[in-house]
Chain A
Amino acid sequence: MLKVRDLVVAYGGIEALKGISLDVPDGKIVTLIGANGAGKSTLLRSIIGLVKVKSGSVEYNGDTLTGLNSQQIVSKGLTLVPEGRRVFPNLTVLENLRIGAYMRKDEEGIAADIKRIYEIFPRLEERNWQMAGTLSGGEQQMLALGRALMSRPKLMMMDEPSLGLAPLVIKEIFNIIRSINENGTTVLLVEQNANMALKVAHHAYVLETGRIMMEGSGKELLENEEIKEAYLGKKKK
């Protein structure tokens, strides 16, 4: 279980997160929706140790993560699929997967996982030796997911995986997110695409300018009138 308590993060005096608390129970998909600039990426980046925390705490299975560096945090079983995918453009597809397993030493397990990921994403296997920078947006997103899976994460955080992708590809990505979760990985999903995110999520939080404004099950929020109006593009009746 990931526990975030009263987390405050500031960029040069301006608070992007103003005291966030949330829980991500093991085995679940928890989503965090919110408009552009709400602080979603900041939350994920501070959990993984890329952004300094001003106050508050992050705990994972009883271990305090605040104050640790990314390497230490990742070694506890967390990973991040970053916003904008950020595959290494100058590494081949295969190398991008291999670097996902950078902390692992079990060569056989790594080889088996690469095989498994190529089964999930056959299009990546066809492009095995291609530089990742030459892939399409959808392929890069698949590679970013595959790269994150290579660390055998217990908790996978994803930052807007549907951003800029075609509807069909988005559907595919969400199916994969669901199956990743069914295989036992906990997911913390950040999305602007509230409709899709709320449909897959067990539990959801709504973030507005650095504060959590609402929470509930995915289903509850999907039916909530305010959410419908603000995030699902539907008018109140």
Chain B
Amino acid sequence: MEIFQAITNMTAVGLAQHMVNGISLGSLYALIAIGYTMVYGILLMINFAHADIVMMACYFALFGITTFHIPWYLTFVLTIALTALLGVTIERAAYRPLRDAPKNSVLISAIGASFLLENLATYVFTGRPLHFPDIPFLSSMISVGGVQIQAICLFIPIVTVICLTVLLHIVNHTKTGMAMRAVSKDYEIARVMGVNIDNIISITFAIGSSLAAIGAIMWGIRYPGITPYLGVMPGLKCFIAAVIGGIGNIKGAVIGGFILGLGEILIVAFFPQFSGYRDAFAFLMLIWILFYKPTGLLGEKTTEKV
């Protein structure tokens, strides 16, 4: 009953406003969640450093524009490239040497990589929040049909859809994508087919980190306070999004991201009294999905056919 009242009390403009916010946040979660799900799909590990890759990407973009005075569009391209390189480097340095070690060792190494990045960022950039530079037009507020929104909000879902389309094309319709899917199921036999699995894993990290960088740049424009720990909470939620969608499944991660992003915003909108609990929503969803469908929404049942 309460919810109907809340909805009827809300004006159409207000609802549109919340939807825009929710879709933007959901898109950003989706872009970051893809990285978690792809790495899990191929290495069966949670890449804890992914959240900090997002944070580093924000700093790359920030310093590119403010300190190095590189035009913002060029900075964005450089940021994506640099972040991809960072992701690949982390895999090489922290995960590859443990390829044949127990999974727990790799997880611990991932936590270590995450701490290292956070502490390094605190040391180099200080813990003081830095302001992400205003980007012409994208950072400004515009009015669409009476709804006041930040211009970037129009682009976030579009960029996300483009990224997802390109990604699904790569994964499902290219030779590299085929190898990625094969490695994720049986890396030994993929090797016997002549697949260089180290290369495929590097490509996976490069793709996941690039998408994280794209998400991070838009995140910075949308939420311009940049700190060394800014990735932690979104990272956690995006991991949960990947689990909700069915870990290892790209479309699942996107759906999970949207559920969490929209859900979080709409709960605050309809139940302002619960706004202090907005971060708890993701965890409630996680508990709920683990209870009712442990494999996630699009997760596959693990049935082995004999």
Chain A residues at the B interface, C-beta cutoff of 8 Å? 48-50, 69-71, 74-75, 79-80, 82, 86, 88-91, 95, 98-100, 102-103, 133-135, 137, 140, 147, 151, 164
Contact string, B183-195, partner A, CB cutoff 8 A, digits 1/0? 0111011111111
Identify the closest chain A residue to B191 (Cβ).
A70
Q: B182 in the interface, Cβ–Cβ < 8 Å?
A: yes
19 A-B pairs with CB atoms under 8 Å apart are: A49-B191, A50-B188, A69-B191, A70-B192, A70-B194, A74-B192, A75-B194, A79-B192, A82-B189, A88-B185, A88-B189, A89-B305, A90-B185, A91-B185, A99-B182, A100-B193, A102-B193, A103-B194, A164-B306
- A contact residues around B182 at 8 Å (CB): 88, 91, 99
On chain B, which size bracket covers the interface? 10 to 19
Q: Which residues of A contact B184 (CB under 8 A)?
A: 90
The interface centre, meaning the residue of B179, B185, B192, B194 with most chain A CB atoms within 10 A of its CB, is B192
Residue in B185, B195, B305, B306 whose CB lies within 8 Å of A102: B195
Q: Counting CB contacts under 8 A, is B175 at the interface? A: yes
Q: Chain B 166-179 against A: per-residue CB contact (8 Å), 1 yes, 0 no? A: 00000000010011
Q: Give the chain A neighbours of B175 by CB distance below 8 A.
A: 98, 102
Known: A71-B195, A147-B193. 20 other contacts (CB 8 A): A50-B188, A50-B191, A71-B194, A71-B196, A88-B186, A89-B185, A90-B181, A91-B178, A91-B181, A91-B182, A99-B190, A99-B193, A99-B195, A100-B193, A102-B193, A102-B194, A103-B193, A133-B305, A151-B193, A164-B306
Complex interface: chain A residues within 8 A of B181 (CB): 88, 90-91
Report if A82-B192 is in contact (Cβ < 8 Å); known contacts: A91-B182, A99-B182. Answer: yes
Residue ID in chain A nearest B195 by CB atoms: A102
Check if B191 sits within 8 Å of A102, measured CB to CB: no
> From residue B302, how far is it (CB to closest CB) to chain A in Å?
10
Identify the 5 closest CB pairs spanning chains A and B, nearest first: A103-B194, A70-B191, A102-B194, A74-B194, A102-B193
Chain B's closest residue to A150 (CB) is: B193
Identity of the chain A residue whose Cβ is nearest the Cβ of B182 in the assembled complex: A88
- Flag if B178 contacts A151 (CB, 8 Å): no
Which chain B residue shows the least CB distance to A89?
A: B185
The CA of A82 and the CA of B191, in the complex, are separated in Å by: 12
Residues of A within 8 A of B186 (CB): 86, 88
Smallest CB separation, A57 vs chain B (Å): 20
Given contacts A102-B175, A133-B305, A164-B306, contact A86 B195 (CB under 8 A): no
Which residue of chain A has the shortest Cβ distance to B248 in the bound complex? A90
Report the bound CA distance from A164 to B305 in whole Å: 12
Determine if B191 and A71 form an interchain contact, defined as CB atoms under 8 angstroms apart: yes
Contact partner, B178, options A49, A99, A103, Cβ 8 Å? A99
Establish whether residues A95 and B195, one from each chain, have CB atoms under 8 Å apart when the complex forms: no
List chain B residues, Cβ under 8 A from A49.
Answer: 191
Q: For chain B residues 131-188, which have a beta carbon within 8 Å of chain A?
A: 175, 178-179, 181-182, 184-186, 188
Q: In the complex, A73 Cα to B72 Cα: how many Å?
A: 48
Instruction: Report Cα–Cα, A99/B195, bound state, in Å.
Output: 9
A residues in contact with B179, CB < 8 Å: 99, 102
CA distance A48 to B188 in the complex (A): 10
